[in-house]
Every structure is written in C-alpha cells, then in structure tokens.
Homo-oligomer: A and B are copies of this chain.
Amino acid sequence: MSPESNYSQNLKVKTIDILSGKLIVVLNELDAKELGVLPLERVELTNPRNKKSVNAVLDITDTMIGENEIGIFKDVHKILSTKDGSIVQVRPSGKPRSIEFIKKKMDGYKLNQDQLKQIVNDIASNKLSEIEATAFIAAVYMKGFDLEETVFMTKALIENGKTLEIPNATVVDKHSIGGTNGRATMIIVPIIAAAGLAIPKTSSRSITSASGTADAMEVLANVSLSLNKIRQVVEKTGGCIAWGGAVELAPADDKIIKIEYPLSLDPEGQVIASVMAKKASVGAKFVVIDLPVGPFVKVHSRDSAEVMALKFIEVGKKLGIKVEVVITNGSEPSGRAFGPNLEAKYALEILEGKFFDNLGQKSVELAGALLELTGHVSKGKGFEKALNILESGEALAKMKEIIRAQGGKIVSSDQIGKAKFKKLFVSRHSGEISSINVGLLNKVARIAGAPSHKKAGLMLNVEQGSKISKNKVLFEIHAENKRKLDAAYDFAMRNQIVSLKRIILEKFS
C-alpha cells in the first residue's frame, strides 16, 4: 500500500438513485485527479459519524457531480448509513494483499488457512475487484482444492459472516445440490419441526430455474428475515424457510456464487465449502445433503456423486457436523410444478394430503434420513415416522404456524392465485415417454415469466414411462401476459422437451 492511500478528502454526498448490483461511487474529475485515482479503481469511504466504511469502485464525471461532492449509488448508502448531504471521508484503497495469494493459486501452489481467510475477507469487503475474484474462482476450478484447503475455505467463509445460535435445541439442516423444481424443503421443514427438532432453513432464489425455494415460500410468507427474526421464528415454531440472501451468514459466498454463475463454474471444493459454511453458520450439527444424479441436473454420474459425497462427510467431520449424503434419482422432475405460485401450491397440496407423489416420497425419505441421523428415531424407522407426521396433518399444522410466524397470510393451497393466461402443449405423436428434459421445462417456465412473474410457470401432465396418444396434453404453460405466453410456447415447439421411445434409431438407404 502506497503512502498515497493515507491521504483522504472529505466530500459531500449526492445520491444517485441507481441500483447497480455493485458498489459504485462517482467523483468529479478534479477530485479524482487530486486523489490520484482512475475510473474502475477502488476508493475507501468512511462515514465519520459511525466509522462504517466500505470499498467502492470509482466512476468519473465532469458535470453530474460537482467539486467536493461524491455521487454514491443506493447500495453504498445502505452500508454506510449515509444520506444525501452527509459528509464522507474518501481515500484510495490500497492494493489488497490477497492478490499475491490468488496469483500463487494460479501458479499451482496450495493456499494455507491465513491466505484463504485473507482472500475471503477481501472478497466480502469488496476490496477485490470482479476481475481479481474471477481469477481466484477460475484458479480453484482449474487447480482444485484439496481436502485441507476445502476445510480452510469453509472456515474462512464461516468466520467472515454472522452465525446463528439456537440455545437448547438439536439444530439440523438439509441441502439439495442443483435441485431444479418441486420444493421438497417446504415439506421437509414442517415435518422436522413437528418432530421437535430445530431447522432454521435458509434458501436461495432462482438463478437458472423457474423458482428457488425462497421464491416459492415468498408466495406464502415473508422470506426476507433478519438473523434475529429467524431465531425468533425457530424458537417459536422449530422451523423457518427464509431467503439466505437477506442475512449475512456467508457474504463472501454470495459474491462467489454470482461470479460462478455466468460460466456455470462450480469447482467441487468451492461447492462443498459454500454449502458446509452455510450449514455451519446456522449452527446445524446434523445435515442431510441431497445429491440428485441425472442427465439434466448438475451431477451426471453416480461415480462423481460418490466422490463428492465422501468429501462432504470428511469436511463435516472437521467441522463437528454429522453429514449424511443421499444420492437421489435426478432423472425425473420432482413433482409436476414449475414456477413460484405453482410450486408453492403443489407443496401445500402434498401437506394437505391431496395427493402423494414422487415429490412427497422424496421429501419423506429425506426427512426420515434426518430423523435417523440425529438419533431421534432408531435406524430404519425414519421414513415411517416422517410419513406419519405428514399423514396425521401435524406437518400441515406446523407449516401454518411457520407461515404465520413469518408474517404470512396464505395458509391453504386454495388461496394461491393463478396466472391470467394458460396454453396447453400437446403431443404430436403417440408413444411411450422415454425422457423429460427438466432443464428445458425450467426454460419454458422462465420464458413465460417465472420467477419474476410469480404466477407464471408450467404444470407437467405426464411422467416418464407414460403411454400417451397423439394430442394428449403434455404440459400447461401459465403466464401473466400474452407475449410471454406465446414466446414460451414457441420455444417449446422448437425444442424436444418430452422424448418418446424409439426402436429405429437411424435409417440408411
């Protein structure tokens, strides 16, 4: 860090009402020159009233912001607790130390606990730019983490964030790697809570699928809960389903995930560290991990799933967490619904006992595995116990409690609203269904508007192995506007979503 960085200016804040998803500030050209900083370089801002500080990326203007002023975007205001007219101290950020460690990893060296900690802290505090953080993730993808590095990374992620403590409770958690639809969590959490265990579940919003668990739960209740509110809800009801993005359990991890997404980079070591850090942060001592394997989900082969499973268990041991990984059949959709409202309704219907299908089966199996893992029931008795809680209506009653504790009002599947438009997609041939492409179904639901339009989505009417006749309805597309409905339908027409069994695979003549 150069001595330059000791020099700071006091500038008057002018709000720029833009939500950019990044921490950006704007300086007048004159002030930027005086500070010796260029566009895209980073400056450190401090609010002298509360000593809160933040590193932000610099843009430069010569008209919009006057001399001795600083334009700050909304996201920066939030962190500093500043407002229009506040005074902030601004100085050039030094070059973060972790750059040296990133370079080491790129050159194939192993990183130690302190080095990974520094990288995680610099990512979380925005000291590393997107370019630098991407180079790190790319290095982890290409060079890998060994078991020790994975554990160090996990610990660094945990220590960097906040943690939840629920006193006098057996805290458990579940996680699904790359699950795509169905929302088993909304069935498992009430079963587990009804059984007397504590399950403070934080879930994500959709990135590539039609709905995340947080998106579906939001149809019923508020999911943007503070850590304090999560504790209250769990102490009262035993469970909650909150949006992980609203709490700062592992803030560096959220930034890493944003970087992994555009290239679908999921370095195995990082995925394990990321999942385990979040589980440890909520204080879970028993964790069941659902690892679906199939052609259209993240993990394609049993072999690689088994390798990953063993690593999860090892990392768990080092953190004092008992982990069970269950490899599940990911070749079929989990239930028929795609999209927030449709998935929320579907999960509630299972809790209401209206039907019991492969999603119900999976949820009860996973809940049963958790009950056995904690020793709450003896080996082999988990499924029966979980099924009993579901069938007796205890799980539904518990779900209603949780929804109300999270400030929700919708407690019955009948209350969930439907989309304005619907279009049926029918088969063009008759035959037996050999495969259903879950990725494409998600895509159709997204083009129809999900998850932004909560009511938009797709309902599947058939399953693998079904024998269908020509013109049979394969799925219904739901949308909030006509254009999106048509676009989704067109996309479905142009892609092979449902495949029929073929005897003649190729013809020569």
Contacts and interface: CB of A to CB of B under 8 A. Distances in A.
7 contacts: A2-B491, A3-B490, A4-B447, A17-B64, A36-B449, A40-B258, A103-B263
Contacts of A129: 262
A94 to B, nearest CB: 13
Given A2-B443, A443-B2, A487-B4, A18 B22 contact: no
A20 interface: yes
Counting chain B CB atoms within 10 Å of each CB, the highest count among A22, A102, A138, A491 belongs to: A138
Please give the count of copies of this chain that the complex contains.
Answer: 2
Contacts of A24: 20
Given A132-B263, A263-B103, A443-B2, A39 B16 contact: no
A59 B60 CA distance: 17
Interface in A107-134: 129-132, 134
Nearest to A16: B64
Contacts of A130: 130-131, 134
A7 B483 contact: yes
B59 A452 contact: no
A205 B20 CA distance: 30
A264 interface: yes
Contacts of A3: 447, 487, 490-491, 494
Nearest to A488: B3
Contact of A60 (B7, B19, B36, B64): B19
A135 B262 CA distance: 10
B39 A19 contact: yes
A135 B131 CA distance: 9
Nearest to A489: B3
A167 interface: no
Contacts of A452: 33, 36
Given A7-B487, A443-B2, A447-B3, A262 B36 contact: no
Interface string A1-38: 01110010000000011111110101000000100100
B99 A263 contact: yes
Sorting the interface of chain A by its residue count into under 10, 10 to 19, 20 to 34 or 35 or more gives: 35 or more
A63 interface: yes
Nearest to A75: B39
Nearest to A33: B452
A443 B2 CA distance: 9
Interface in A260-290: 262-265
Contacts of A264: 103
A145 B132 CA distance: 21
A62 interface: yes
Contact of A138 (B22, B40, B99, B138): B138
A429 to B, nearest CB: 23
A484 B24 CA distance: 26
A17 B59 contact: no
Contacts of A443: 2
Nearest to A452: B33
A4 to B, nearest CB: 6
Contacts of A33: 452
Interface string A432-452: 000000000001000101001
A308 interface: no
A26 B22 contact: no
A487 B3 CA distance: 6
Contacts of A71: 18
A305 interface: no
A299 interface: no
